[in-house]
A = this chain, B = another copy of it.
Amino acid sequence: MFKTELCDLLGIQYPILQGGMVWVSYNELCAAVSNSGGLGILAGGSMTADELREEIRLVKEKTDKPFGANIPVVKPDSESLVNVAIEEEVDIISTSAGNPKRFTQKIHDAGLKVIHVSPSPQLAAKAAEAGVDAIVAEGIEAGGHDGFEEITTMALVPQVVETVDIPVIAAGGIADFRGFVAALSLGAKGVQIGTRFAATREAQGHPDFKKAIIDAGPTGTAITGRGFGPTRSVRNRLTDQILEMERRGAGLEELLKMIGTGRSRRATQDGDVEEGTIYCGQIAGMIRELKSVEEVFTEIIEGAEVLINELGKVSTASR
């Protein structure tokens, strides 16, 4: 049993959210997470409005539990995506990459909850002012798009907790019961887990993409785009090239031209793990096999109960 105020807010059993990962978080993963007691989140970031509508309907065929959709505010069609999420009645909209103020009122008027992903206490404060219901405080260890601020989860979460009055969800560097309890210790009321769920059977994605996460190891990811839009992915031929260009001081235009578009899709859908971008968190080093969503949940919850019990013994142990 695990219950925090976040469970009440979102209507879920365990305070565990699944990150809305582009090309990865589709109906099967989303429904499996919600059916396991967490909050599944569809990746609006890699869907058209029509695709999102279809995916929402497919989730609803597979679960009657709450679930959500992530919508990057800066995405050109973000307004259509928000409209679809409202029309098709998801329970929670997670906004990221941009100011949530643009949609907060509309989402609340429709009776949905909104949570916003923030990489710094300053941006978290801004989102709280905009009226969001909860904040995902995401550290630089997270996969995909990261904050320019490069604040780690360990440093970020307690500062966001001290900054805002709404529940904080920790993200970045969390893949198991240890990370889960550590996040709660830092003051979070729940966690958002990405990479661990990307390496599940239910996640969308090419087998070679999932294998790349499992094989990454402790030092297998890198941040590229520090100057213009930091993202974390598995080191491969592409990241080596980008990092080399960055080291020699290549300009933005040259970098963007080389990177082009569609790199994430290329790795995740097509399995081109050398020339595509394998978005992946640093905690990949702890991920050594493909699991089912249910296994991931069971291990986190059971492990956390044992761990918290052990912490209790440490704190009362007499000399």
Contacts and interface: CB of A to CB of B under 8 A. Distances in A.
Contact of A3 (B305, B308, B319): B319
Contact of A159 (B3, B218, B309, B316): B218
Given A3-B318, A152-B152, A182-B182, 13 more contacts: A1-B315, A1-B318, A4-B314, A121-B218, A149-B219, A152-B172, A154-B173, A155-B282, A157-B178, A158-B176, A161-B178, A162-B286, A308-B315
A185 interface: yes
A312 B185 CA distance: 11
A24 interface: no
A181 B311 contact: yes
A282 B186 contact: no
A58 interface: no
A155 B221 CA distance: 12
A282 B151 contact: yes
A307 B211 CA distance: 38
14 contacts: A1-B318, A3-B314, A3-B319, A4-B314, A121-B218, A150-B223, A154-B283, A155-B281, A179-B186, A182-B185, A184-B314, A249-B250, A308-B308, A308-B311
A139 B218 CA distance: 12
Contacts of A120: 218-219
A34 interface: no
A225 interface: no
A120 B285 CA distance: 11
A190 to B, nearest CB: 10
A187 B219 CA distance: 20
B2 A155 contact: no
A153 interface: yes
Contacts of A2: 314-315, 317
B249 A185 contact: no
B174 A178 contact: no
Nearest to A250: B249
Given A181-B311, A248-B249, A314-B4, A174 B154 contact: yes
Contacts of A1: 315-319
A304 interface: yes
A285 B179 contact: no
Nearest to A161: B178
Contacts of A172: 152, 154
Interface in A290-319: 304-305, 307-309, 311-312, 314-319
Interface centre among A120, A308, A309, A318 (most CB of B within 10 A): A308
